[in-house]
A and B are shown apart, each in its own frame.
Chain A
């Protein structure tokens, strides 16, 4: 029994260490180091030795001394079993093993006797490994996007694995792709158009949504229940089935290639979500405050303007940010309605760029960075609002 849990502990912990070291090796390879072998078996075996030594030593020496000593020995073993590698890489290995042995702190020969210890070990390491794994899988494409935009086409063709940044280069050299897309591909204009459409959508949507949401939240009228259920059903309906009729009608009305046309469509598609989010918040405002307003002789307009809006500014802000992000990221309608480069939005412009096989990939990635950054900044900065708005039940993509 004890042997079984020890074996499971050794295998799982070493597996975890191997995975992290492999990720470290991949990242180092992308910095231009020429590794050709992941050496999984060797690392796995030394990892088992490391874990075994850790539990065998137990509490005989101070934890801090123990982890430093073990990590140091591990790094030396790693250095000799691995291909020639620079010292910064081995230092990284040392830090990882330090972190790993520290993680082992709660395990000892004693604790391995507990109930369900093998399940606990598995859960413990999977939790940690899972987080590292998810973070890596999520961030890796973003990392590639960013570093590609700083490379040149030739450098990438010579060695597609070398993403190291040459910091000795001047800044203009480093940011060359960005200068090019602004100068030759007119990205400044597209940023302006995208911002205008997105901000316009936010303003118009709020103008329409606030009164409607107020009516749905507070007033009694025939068809109210129907309206609030149809709001939910409508936003389940796909944009792709709207495209052909809207395209034909917009062509006949001359609304294609116009920012105004795009604005109408974006507003209409974001309205249901906006109304839904806002009415939920409006309902939570105590009714007594409004009654006081009515006593003061305010009409409905005054109540909305002077009571409801000031009280629900956080909710309105989160709806605004949300609508902004939807409009900024939108692609399908801009693909359908815009075919003159004069009226492209950022997303459409990047897609147009990629249509030309000659376009160097670093330009494409520089464009992608430009379209991604504002959204990520908004998201990181206002995460709390946005997440609470999302989980409040509104999940429009």
Chain B
């Protein structure tokens, strides 16, 4: 009895879970595997259409006598690289009309011309002609002939499904793509974006936690950048930072803080001198990192605040009695309580920053030294139209991500054992 019940339970569980699992599999997991496949193929954006035979029909009169017409079919293979096999052609004609001197590849049966054109190579083109005449010598209406569209069919390989593979894409990714700089930029962006968001998040949480009144309002306001749409926020920042008439530059120039407007998003390097040491700062990248911090510190803030509120007040009171200073309280009470959540947030933010596309794309489009791996996927796949190469970069991203996860779980696992 209970056995059949558990069987029923299992069956119900699978029916309930299956739709969601299938959908996620088709849209999320399948593409990850498909990337592996595509990354080994030499394929461009224009090739992803399945090749098809096409025909353009032109009707011409050949003599004064309107009972004869010449029809030219401009035949072609839509693909520049794939052949089409076994092309079949078919066109219908009105009653009493029949072709003369029909091409040997074709035959005429019950008002239809049916042709077998065999295989068409890539880029194949041919002007195929049929002359028709009315059996009774009457005028043939051109419009009727024109309005009838020929039907073509043929077998072609889906260029995505062919089995010719190449390592060319990966070679290009590693050797012709400034790979080291790409990787470094990605890591700068990811690392400083993450660390900045965490520092500002802790700071904000600490501040809001101290202030009892207005805590919920502040919490709401601080989350605005996180919940707002990227597009709106990124364009607002672009406008603020614009060198020609942006508010920030105008303010700085107005108050004589700088002499010339600075193109914060369009300049790759800026030379700074601090204490006599001159060094070059990646300006556009730094600006983008600041946007990133601005947009995502609220998340850290929210989680840390939730954790801070859960710390028992008695701990602080005891420290007060022991004569601890505010800094000592922070280091010895607050910090140990939030390390766990910080390490999780670090991991989450690190991975998401590593994958960040929209923010950089909208602010700089990947120009002036802000090209990261995700931006490169887009540039290769859609700007250069090299789908295979874009997929290869995606694979690099997935591999790096997996290794982060492994390293992270190793570290966390070790620490869990120590505790």
Chain A interface (Cβ within 8 Å of chain B)?
26, 29-30, 35-38, 115-116, 119-120, 123, 126-128, 130-131, 134-135, 137-142, 144-145, 148, 156-157, 160-161, 208-209, 211-212, 214-216, 219-222, 224, 227, 233-234, 236-249, 251-252, 264-265, 267-269, 271-272, 275, 300, 325, 328-329, 331-332, 335-336, 346-347, 350-351, 354, 361, 364-365, 367-369, 371-372, 375-376, 379-380, 383, 387, 390-391, 395, 397
Contacts and interface: CB of A to CB of B under 8 A. Distances in A.
A245 B30 contact: yes
Contact of B251 (A26, A141, A335, A347): A26
A110 B158 CA distance: 85
25 contacts: A36-B254, A126-B207, A208-B19, A208-B20, A212-B19, A215-B16, A220-B6, A221-B9, A234-B24, A238-B351, A238-B355, A240-B357, A241-B355, A243-B394, A244-B391, A252-B48, A268-B27, A269-B27, A335-B361, A354-B235, A379-B224, A380-B220, A387-B219, A395-B299, A397-B296
A364 B23 CA distance: 36
A329 B23 contact: no
A241 B232 contact: no
Contact of A130 (B23, B203, B246, B255): B203
Interface string B48-67: 11100000000000000000
Contacts, number: 285
A216 B20 CA distance: 12
A351 B231 CA distance: 7
Contact of B237 (A29, A141, A300, A376): A141
B401 A242 contact: no
A142 B50 CA distance: 47
A271 B24 contact: yes
B256 A241 contact: no
Nearest to B349: A395
Contact of B326 (A119, A219, A246): A119
Interface centre among B21, B160, B306 (most CB of A within 10 A): B21
Contacts of A387: 219, 223, 302
Interface stretch (B121-129, B143-151, B277-285, B374-382): B374-382
Interface residues of B, number: 98
Contact of B390 (A30, A244, A246, A268): A244
B16 A234 contact: no
B239 A365 contact: yes
A221 B11 CA distance: 8
A395 B17 contact: no
A206 to B, nearest CB: 11
B182 interface: no
A376 B13 contact: no
A242 B357 CA distance: 12
Nearest to B372: A240
Contact of A144 (B239, B294, B325): B239
A120 B326 CA distance: 7
B219 A160 contact: no
A257 to B, nearest CB: 15
B208 interface: yes
B13 A220 contact: yes
Interface string B178-213: 000000000000000000000000011011101100
Contact of B235 (A135, A236, A268, A368): A368
B240 A221 contact: no
A215 B13 contact: yes
Given A142-B236, A214-B16, A251 B229 contact: no
Contacts of A212: 16-17, 19-21
Contact of B23 (A115, A123, A267, A383): A267
A245 B236 contact: no
Contacts of B156: none
A128 B208 CA distance: 9
A339 to B, nearest CB: 10
Interface stretch (B32-40, B71-79, B93-101, B265-273): B32-40
Contacts of A246: 27, 31
A135 B221 contact: yes
Contact of B357 (A36, A208, A239): A239
Contact of B13 (A134, A221, A354, A361): A221
B165 interface: no
A338 B232 CA distance: 18
Contacts of B325: 115-116, 119
B245 A268 contact: no
A52 to B, nearest CB: 24
B362 interface: yes
B247 interface: yes
Given A157-B245, A241-B398, 9 more contacts: A38-B255, A131-B211, A141-B240, A221-B9, A236-B348, A236-B405, A241-B397, A244-B391, A372-B232
B232 A144 contact: no
A242 B224 CA distance: 28
A116 B319 CA distance: 13
B34 A240 contact: no
B273 to A, nearest CB: 22
B209 to A, nearest CB: 9
Contact of A160 (B246, B354, B390): B246
Contacts of A127: 206-207, 210-211
Contacts of B374: 238, 240
A244 B394 contact: yes
A215 B235 contact: no
